[in-house]
Amino acid sequence: MTIKEIQQQYLTELEKIYSLGEAAVITTMIFESIANISKQDLLLRPNVEIENNTEINLITALKRLQQYEPIQYVIGKAWFYNVAFTVNEAVLIPRPETEELVLEAINFLKLHESKNVLDIGTGSGCIPISIKKNIAGANVTSLDVSNDALKLAAKNASDNAVEISFLHLNFLEEKNHLALPKFDVIISNPPYIPENEKNNLDKNVAKYEPHVALFVPQNDPLLFYKKILIFAGDHLKKDGKIFLEIHEDFAAETANLFTEKNYQVIIKKDMQGKERMLIINQYL
């Protein structure tokens, strides 16, 4: 088959799932990542025959996409803070909204003399690695309950030539807090989607992304934030800050957890105008 023929097959099938624009972007990403065929090749060399092995790989990828598998898992990488991170089904796909949270933390650390950072729920490692790459003097600790996630995060750290202290730890068990020191920054994008919202999610999220990193009990949607609040009481330095990604529907409720314990809280909106971040510090 020629480049044009397979490209048309992709567009025809993907338009059944995505908009025309999304289908075109996904097609270009697949051709570049799997077949080393650039966007320019798609335009200028449409009649070039594709080698048999490459054709098989492209058709296999298309079948995965037709099952709603996210493009990032199909090509094995996602971009975050201008860096390509390896991803698979053990970790959430990094999202642009989280970049905004990381930027807030980086801007704080640039002006802060001490730079001890704790990332809770590392996943792919996109948060701690991005901080370390931009704050060379940062001492970054990152924890996760998933061994598979930690292995992938460690690979991403190695690929980016940064040193992160990764810990296998269940943060919900408060006894595990005792082994950790105090930090200048506590940052987290924890699970915050109530289980009863599962059916409202896109198929590519609900079917493929790790549920342990997405969902919390519907009767306790602020579970992780309550634990972070408890942890911060003994582990946040007096002039430190907490940076949290949150569920837009629970912004005020999550903020109240901290204000009731005499923390100063700023609710920030993301690029889409949704209340998705908390920036928290203690009253001094």
Beta bridge partners of 128: none
> pLDDT category, 100, cuts 50, 70, 90?
very high
> pLDDT category, 204, cuts 50, 70, 90?
confident
Q: Is the pLDDT of residue 13 over 60?
A: yes
Q: In angstroms, rounded to a whole number, what is the distance separating the alpha carbons of residues 160 and 235?
A: 28
The mean pLDDT value for 112-129 works out to 96
Residue 187, φ and ψ in degrees, nearest 5: -130, 140
Identity at 11, one-letter amino acid code = L
Q: Is the pLDDT of residue 272 over 60?
A: yes
For the segment 212-231, what is each residue's pLDDT rounded down to a tens digit? 999 999 999 999 999 999 99
For residue 282, what pLDDT is reported? 81
Q: Is the pLDDT of residue 59 over 90?
A: yes
CATH homologous superfamily of 78-282 = Vaccinia Virus protein VP39 (3.40.50.150)
User: 69 by DSSP, 3-state: which?
Assistant: coil
> pLDDT category, 43, cuts 50, 70, 90?
confident
Q: Is the pLDDT of residue 211 over 80?
A: yes
For the segment 157-178, what is each residue's pLDDT rounded down to a tens digit? 999 999 999 999 999 999 999 9
Domain range summary for the chain, segments of one domain joined by +? 3-67, 78-282
> pLDDT category, 141, cuts 50, 70, 90?
very high
Q: In angstroms, how far is the first alpha carbon of the chain from the final one?
A: 68
CA distances from 247 to 88, 107, 111, 269, 280 (A): 24, 23, 28, 11, 16
Looking at 25-39, 41-55, 123-137, which range is the least confident one? Answer: 41-55
> pLDDT category, 251, cuts 50, 70, 90?
very high
> pLDDT category, 41, cuts 50, 70, 90?
confident
Q: In angstroms, rounded to a whole number, what is the distance separating the alpha carbons of residues 8 and 140?
A: 46
Residue 265, φ and ψ in degrees, nearest 5: -130, 130
Q: Is the pLDDT of residue 144 over 60?
A: yes
For residue 284, what pLDDT is reported? 55
> pLDDT category, 259, cuts 50, 70, 90?
very high
